[in-house]
Amino acid sequence: MLKNVAALLLDDVNPFELGVLCEVFGLDRSEEGLPVHDFAVVSAEGPVLRTHAGFTITTPHGLDRLEEADLIAVPAGTHFVDREYPEDVLEALRRAVGRGARVLSVCSGAYVLGAAGLLDGRRCTTHWRHATELARRFPRAIVEPDVLYVDEGSVITSAGTAAGIDACLHLVRQAYGTAAANTIARRMVVPPHRDGGQAQYIERPLPRNRCDTVGDTLAWMERHLDQEMTVEQLAALAHMSPRTFARRFQQETGTTPYRWLLRQRVLLAQHLLETSDETMDTIAGQTGFGNAAALRHQFVRSLGTTPNAYRRTFRGPTELTEVA
């Protein structure tokens, strides 16, 4: 059942994430045959709340309003990563899950659920920038940084900003079916379901630090990504035995030569998909993947989306045809 929805706000809440919840669950679209929710904005810290954008929000609803909610949604906040939360808020969330309600976090709202112990032993996610800290702060949580959202039954977590839309539409789809979710998505002018995960949005700068002995080899590899390479060849360039080279490479980059090379090839493919109109076969040749099918395979494995879907997201529609 998804009839009664409460958005739980703390100070410095982010307006966009709150707006997502209001748009999906708080608007009356009954004229389009869509369900109407009993929606309320609930304050966890007094009747007047600050927002990250500098204005304030007032609401008559306090924590007691959570007792009747089927879904409690916690939008992100600016300082959620490093603050403490009122115990009565955490207890209200635990009580809600205990009676069968569901809780949803958007972006850094996952930290509130983590503080309540609701991520313990569960898969979860948050914005990729906060994922490492979430795992450190709540070591019993199973953090998955590459996905848009995770549904663990009573606990749903979503990644940064727009991923909250994906999670909300997922809940609507579960409760009312695909047609309802598609209608809301159409009204919001967003896709009803996005391909891939947040891995495609994560910045991966080249590792420049601590490369005392293999730095020159890394630079050579970066300049020759279109060529075949072996550990033996790379070791010879570094004037080391293959075994010593592999050990030094792991120590200084934190990964193996193969994985480093694969990452840089995918990065170059991303750049070419964003900035050029080259065909998939051409990009595959320039990045060392050989052909479009191999490019697609490695791209999906690394980023969870296809090269064409990535290009549509970051460059716009093209007339290029992708190998199936």
Domain count, the chain: 2
Q: What is the mean pLDDT of the chain?
A: 88
Give the residue-averaged pLDDT of 272-279.
89
The answer to whether residue 179 sits within a structural domain is yes
pTM for the structure as a whole = 0.66
Q: How confident is the model at residue 324 (pLDDT cuts 50, 70, 90)?
A: very low
* Residues 152 and 24 reside in one and the same domain: yes
Tokens 């953090």 label which residue? 143
* Residues 88 and 171 reside in one and the same domain: yes
Query: In 3D, which of 233, 310, 323, 312 has the Cα closest to residue 267?
Result: 310
Q: In a 10 Å sphere around its CB, with 0-12 CB exposed, 13-18 middle and 19+ buried, how is residue 234 labelled?
A: buried
Dist. CA 247–CA 258, nearest whole Å: 13
* Residues 189 and 310 reside in one and the same domain: no
Dist. CA 165–CA 181, nearest whole Å: 11
Q: Which of 145, 173, 198 is the last residue of a domain?
A: 198
107 is catalytic: yes
Dist. CA 112–CA 77, nearest whole Å: 10
The answer to whether residue 128 sits within a structural domain is yes
Q: Which residues of 1-13 are buried (b: 16+ CB within 10 A; e: fewer)?
A: eeebbbbbbbbbb
Q: What is the DSSP string of 28-81?
A: --GGGT----EEEEEESS-SEEEBTTS-EEE-SB-GGGGGG-SEEEE--BTTTT
Give the residue-averaged pLDDT of 88-110.
96
15: part of which helix (H) or strand (E)? helix 15-25
Give the residue-averaged pLDDT of 264-276.
88
- Res 197: pLDDT: 67
The answer to whether residue 264 sits within a structural domain is yes
pLDDT at 1 over 60: yes
pLDDT at 244 over 50: yes
* Residues 192 and 223 reside in one and the same domain: no
* Residues 190 and 225 reside in one and the same domain: no
Give the residue-averaged pLDDT of 91-102.
96
Q: How confident is the model at residue 118 (pLDDT cuts 50, 70, 90)?
A: very high
The answer to whether residue 210 sits within a structural domain is no
- Res 15: pLDDT: 95
* Residues 176 and 242 reside in one and the same domain: no
Chain CA centroid to CA 138, Å = 18
pLDDT at 57 over 90: yes
Query: In 3D, which of 148, 174, 2 has the Cα closest to residue 73?
Result: 2
pLDDT at 11 over 60: yes
Structural domain for 297, as ranges: 215-314
* Residues 173 and 247 reside in one and the same domain: no
* Residues 155 and 276 reside in one and the same domain: no
* Residues 302 and 275 reside in one and the same domain: yes
* E strand segments, the chain: 4-9, 38-43, 48-50, 56-58, 71-74, 102-106, 123-124, 142-143, 149-151, 155-158
- Res 199: pLDDT: 62
* Residues 179 and 292 reside in one and the same domain: no
Q: How confident is the model at residue 202 (pLDDT cuts 50, 70, 90)?
A: low
Contact at 8 Å (CB) between 303 and 199?
A: yes
Indicate which residue of 22, 107, 124, 211 is catalytic: 107
- Res 209: pLDDT: 44
User: Which position has the higher pLDDT, 6 or 201?
Assistant: 6
Cα distances (Å, whole numbers) of residue 119 to 53, 70, 88, 113, 204 = 29, 19, 18, 6, 27
The answer to whether residue 205 sits within a structural domain is no
- Res 124: pLDDT: 95
* Residues 168 and 230 reside in one and the same domain: no
Tell me the CATH number at 142: 3.40.50.880
Share of the chain above pLDDT 90, in %: 64
Lowest-pLDDT choice from 92-106, 135-149, 198-212: 198-212
* Residues 308 and 266 reside in one and the same domain: yes
